[in-house]
Amino acid sequence: MAAHAARLPVAPSGYIAGFWYDHVFFILAPLIALAVGLAAVALGAYDVRLAARGGTGALLQVALPTYLSAAFTHAHLLAVAFRSHANRRIFDAYRLRFTVVPAVLFAATLLSAWVFVLVSVLAVWWDVYHSSLQTFGLGRLYDQRYGNDPRTGRRADMLFNLLIYIGPIAAGVHLAPHLAAFAKFETLGEQGPSMLAAALLARHDMVRQLVLGLGLPGLALYLWHYARLARSGYRVPMPKVLLFTSTAFCSIAAWGFGSFGEAFLIMNFFHAWQYFALVWWVERKTLSASLGSYALAAAVLFGLTLGYGLWRAWEPWHARVTIAFGNVVSLMHFWYDGFIWSVQRRQVP
């Protein structure tokens, strides 16, 4: 289908919320997060450590930036509820998914050690996939704002975002921490996943060469594809170009060259930053209508989610029930986001 065959009305500004809002909270968010991460290192914030006694009496410590980053990340996971459950139109459309499924999954993680481990490992890897698709989704919105058919370039954008997010993890120094999740299967007496992870690490040079071998031609093919679309009438959204460029630069810099703690802070910070901004922009009217004012709506949204994040980042070090609850929140966030922000179904104004 030609790019111009299903042209939509063009948004006046071409932005989701406006020039400044979009640049601060969406487009340049990866670079802002990179600056925050570098500042944390330069100011010695990682030398400030929080300590507490675990359930067995062991001393537990965490660097302050790591704790705050984890808290902010967990907070944004809960923020999906203000879209899925607080928006009556969305809730009524998927009532069973928002009520029965999380309850059943939570019970299963408590009753079955296998389910608990499977959910814990799935949460790690689904997070990687999910994070790349948030940038993809914002890019779809910019295409919509520029009057392009939401189906045009969809597959190419998805593959590109998977490449710029997963590629640096697989090719960089942080493949090992991600593969470490498979060690959880050893608690079940299952050695296979850990052996597979060890085999991949032993061949990390081959994995890196494979990523580069596929990534560089893939990038060239992606650019050629969009040049071809542009000649057919596709309007190139500059906000999407800047967003994808800043995300790629940040991902390569963080996952490819930083420590795991720094990369975790940087990548999760901008992801949560963007998500909170999107939830607030889309749901602010619904929340304020229910609560009576924008100020109260903001206080409830950010107060509840940040409170949960601070608790979740600290408490689950030793409590299985808390870990299970947090993992269910994570998986529901990843799953819900796949169908409550559809650009093709015009669910995002």
Distance CA 100, CA 143 (A): 35
Identify the pLDDT of residue 257.
Answer: 79
Which tokens sit at 50? 């929080």
pLDDT digits (tens, 9 = 90+) for 284-318: 999 999 898 999 999 999 999 999 999 988 875 55
This prediction has a pTM of: 0.90
Lowest-pLDDT range, 45-54, 177-186, 250-259, 306-315? 45-54
Q: Mean pLDDT throughout 3-27?
A: 76
Residue 183 burial (CB < 10 Å; 0-12/13-18/19+)? middle
SS3 162: helix
Query: CA-to-CA distance for 9 and 295, rounded, in angstroms?
Result: 33
pLDDT bucket at 57, cuts 50 / 70 / 90: low
Q: Mean pLDDT lowest for which of 52-61, 148-157, 171-180?
A: 52-61
Average pLDDT in the 160-186 region?
Answer: 85
Which has more confidence, 339 or 8? 339
**Percent residues over pLDDT 90 in the chain:** 58
d(CA 342, CA 329): 21
pLDDT of residue 216: 85
Which span out of 95-104, 128-137, 160-169, 254-263 was modeled with the highest average pLDDT? 95-104
Cβ–Cβ < 8 Å for 309, 74: yes
Mean pLDDT over the full length of the chain: 88
Q: Give the orientation angle of helix 29-42 with respect to helix 260-291, to 10 degrees.
A: 130
| Residues whose CB is less than 8 angstroms from the CB of residue 276 and which lie 6 or more positions away in sequence, other chains included | 75, 76, 79, 302, 305
Instruction: Say what percent of the chain tops pLDDT 70.
Output: 91
The answer to whether 128 touches 236, Cβ cutoff 8 Å, is: no
* pLDDT the model gives residue 321: 87
| pLDDT at residue 3, as a whole number | 42
pLDDT tens readout for residues 187-199 = 888 888 888 888 8
Q: Are 255 and 26 in contact (CB under 8 A)?
A: no
